[in-house]
Amino acid sequence: MAIQDIFFYLFAALTLICAFLVVANPFTRNPVTSAMFLVLSIISMAGLFVLLHAFFLAAVQILVYAGAVMVLFLFVIMLLDLKEEARRHYKTFGVVTGVVSVGALLAIAVRAITTSGLSTGVQPQAEGATNALGKLLFTQYLLPFEIVSVLLLVAMVGVILLSKKDLK
Amino acid sequence: MHLTPVGLEHYLIVSAALFCLGVLGVIMRRNLIVMYMSLELMLNAANLALVAFSRFNNNLNGQVMVFFIITVAAAEVAVGLALIVALFRKRQTAHVEDLTSMKL
């Protein structure tokens, strides 16, 4: 087994375990714990991106998701008083139906992936392509790139409007 | 799991499992913020699938798409969390069970 395969299984297991602990931590229901495990999950997914030779996206994943987005999440968790969360109980019916339906969904997805024969005859390219990605982003995808900047501006204005105390 | 050399299928299965965990979180948890984190997990699962396809088809368009998804997700998180804060200010709760004023 090649070293990349070992790292793949390591990062995949870490990603899934941490994602599970975000959703259903058996020890605590604290949202801060969930947020911390989400950070771990995102960082190990950046490891998967590195294994897929998407180095730029791995960096962006850590900077934007694990950095900016999670800080925002933690700010809001600290801002709100969520102590009540720990006292609430899951509804058994909801948990059972949720687990069953999601298990069925996963079974269908895995079955579809394994029987589709997607992996046959594809060879990944040799080197990483941050250079080519940048060229593509600023030539073919220049207009979407600019539109996304407008979207960020709109989101910023919207957030400021939403957080005003009294809307006039 | 059989330990064959890692290919596209392996990444897609990890992505599918991650997506299902996100769905489970949205169904099971009743806290708005944790549900929001589960949504982020689902977005990340889609990102992983796109990067894997991009890698194994020698086509960079998937990576550009992931770049845009990350940007849009950041904007979405900002707006969504502002909505949650505004909601909390008005109703003093972040639980979906307490937010039933639109129920018939």
Tell me the H-state helices in chain A.
3-23, 31-51, 55-60, 70-79, 92-115, 130-138, 142-162
Contacts of B40 (CB under 8 A, 6+ apart): A38, A65, A69, B22, B73, B77
Per-residue pLDDT of chain A (168 residues), as tens digits, is 788 889 999 999 999 999 999 998 888 888 899 999 999 999 999 999 999 888 999 999 999 999 999 999 999 988 887 766 556 677 788 889 989 999 999 999 999 988 887 765 556 665 557 888 888 889 999 999 999 999 999 999 999 998 887 766
* ipTM attached to this prediction: 0.90
**Are A80 and A142 contained in the same domain?**
no
| Token pair of A70 as six digits | 């999670």
SS3 B95: strand
For residue A15, give the chain B residue with the closest CA.
B18
Last residue of some domain: A50, A85, A120? A85
**Are A60 and A4 contained in the same domain?**
yes
Q: What is the DSSP letter of A84?
A: G
Residues 4-63 of chain B with CB under 8 A from chain A are 5-14, 16-25, 27-31, 33-34, 36-38, 40-41, 44, 47-48, 51-52, 54-58, 60-61, 63
Global pTM value: 0.90
The answer to whether position A77 is within a domain reads: yes
SS3 A142: helix
Residue pair A18/A38 in contact (Cβ under 8 Å)? The answer is yes
| Residue contact B68–A144, C-beta within 8 A | yes
Residue pair B51/A52 in contact (Cβ under 8 Å)? The answer is yes
One-letter amino acid identity for A99?
A: V
Residues 11-50 of chain A with CB under 8 A from chain B are 12, 15-16, 19-20, 22-24, 31, 34-35, 38, 41-42, 45, 48-49
The answer to whether position A5 is within a domain reads: yes
Last residue of some domain: A16, A51, A85? A85
Could you tell me which of A87, A78, A74 has the C-alpha nearest to residue A38?
A74
**Are A148 and A78 contained in the same domain?**
no
- Structural domain boundaries, residue A40: 1-85
How many angstroms away from the CA of B100 is the closest CA of chain A?
A: 17
Structural domains of chain A, count: 2
One-letter amino acid identity for A73?
A: F
